Amino acid sequence: MYEYKPINVKIEEMNYNQFLELTLAWLEDTNNGEPLELESPLDCPIHRWVKATNGICSGDTIPNTAKCPICGNYECPDCHSHKVNVLSRVTGYMQVVSGWNSAKKEEFENRTRYNV
84 touches 58 (CB < 8 A): no
pTM of the model: 0.71
Q: How far apart are the first and last CA of the chain?
A: 33
Span 22-31, pLDDT tens digits: 889 888 888 8
Dist CA 7 CA 52 (whole Å): 17
Dist CA 102 CA 116 (whole Å): 28
Confidence of residue 34 (pLDDT cuts 50, 70, 90): confident
Inform me whether the pLDDT recorded for 9 exceeds 80.
no
The more confidently predicted of residues 50 and 89 is 50
Confidence of residue 65 (pLDDT cuts 50, 70, 90): confident
The more confidently predicted of residues 114 and 99 is 99
Domains in the chain: boundaries = 1-58+65-84, 85-116
